[in-house]
Amino acid sequence: MLYIYHNYYVVLYVNRIYYMKSSKIVKLLLGYTLVNEFVGREGFNIQQYNKGNYSLFLKQARGENIPALVSEKEILIWLAQHFQNTPLVKRFENDGDVYSLIITAVPGEQAQRMKTAFTKKEIIKLAALALNRLHNTDLSTFPKTQNILDAELDNISSDIAQGRINIDEFTKATNSTPIAALQKLQNQFASLDQTALTHGDYCLPNILITPEKLVSLIDWTKGGISDIHRDFSAIEGSIARNFGQEFIPFFYQAYGIEPQKVDRNKIEFFNLIDQFFYHRIPTQPIT
Ligand SMILES: Nc1ncnc2c1ncn2[C@@H]1O[C@H](COP(=O)(O)OP(=O)(O)O)[C@@H](O)[C@H]1O
Ligand SMILES: [Mg+2]
């Protein structure tokens, strides 16, 4: 439970005690209980707070992760006007160099964990329909018109320049040096059709499903305008890892695209971008 003790805000969690500086964020969480915390895949600190049946998620970033959190906040605000079941932004603020986003919890379990309630094909169908809807959303009022890939390639380029890619591991995994791979990406860039809203990390754990088949998409730090193959590449990998390669055609069938219309070169393009992410030397999480 988060409470005040001698002018400190105190959170007890398992066998640890956190003292937090007073801020609007902390005040919003007074009376809540910290029930879960973890460091996300991209270095964000995530905590879940409950009060009765009501649940909030606190996602925090600092340093180079701040722009992604700001972007997630902006996309969530826009998405809430277009999609039901979008996490609602309750608060966004910074305390020194730590940026905090508080969002409401959406119902459901990570899609790959719903195997007892649904068949794998049913789960895949729900994921495909949600993505089709996202890709066909009218973007006339979308605030972030710049495509996401320009910045992504710039980041890769500066990661290489600063020695932040593990060259040996990257080369082993891709048969290409980071510099040659970046060159390849830059050459292919013009062939992409960057006109849709993409999630950017469209994997099963970011798709929450309820037993009533309500679908909610979470984790929008990589969301933005790009080519739809960006999401195809992510979901293909996720389906293969969780359910098996042979289930991928069901995804395209439900999405409504003939498998031969899926551009394998573009899938390769986004797979290669991911390799830079996998072989990036991580920064320190918030302590
Ligand atoms: N708004 C939310 N509603 C329900 N669960 C959430 C919400 N935000 C995060 N979670 C849970 O926390 C996990 C991690 O959050 P996420 O934003 O996906 O960050 P990351 O993938 O970087 O760890 C999710 O897989 C989900 O289980
Ligand atoms: Mg996630």
Domains and CATH numbers, the chain: 2-104 (3.30.200.20), 109-278 (3.90.1200.10)
Which pLDDT does position 129 carry in this prediction?
Answer: 98
Q: Binning pLDDT at 50, 70 and 90, where does residue 137 land?
A: very high
Which pLDDT does position 144 carry in this prediction?
Answer: 86
* Ligand 1 neighbour 106 (Cβ under 6 A): yes
From 210, 199, 285, 266, select the one nearest 238 (Cα to Cα): 199
pTM of the model as a whole: 0.91
Cα–ligand 1 centroid distance for 40 (angstroms): 8
* Ligand 1 neighbour 205 (Cβ under 6 A): yes
**What is the average pLDDT value for the chain, to the nearest integer?**
91
In the chain, the amino acid numbered 161 is: A
Tell me how crowded residue 245 is: count the other CB atoms within 10 A of its CB. Answer: 10
Distances (CA, A) of 267 to 67, 184, 232, 248: 26, 14, 7, 13
Cα–ligand 1 centroid distance for 71 (angstroms): 16
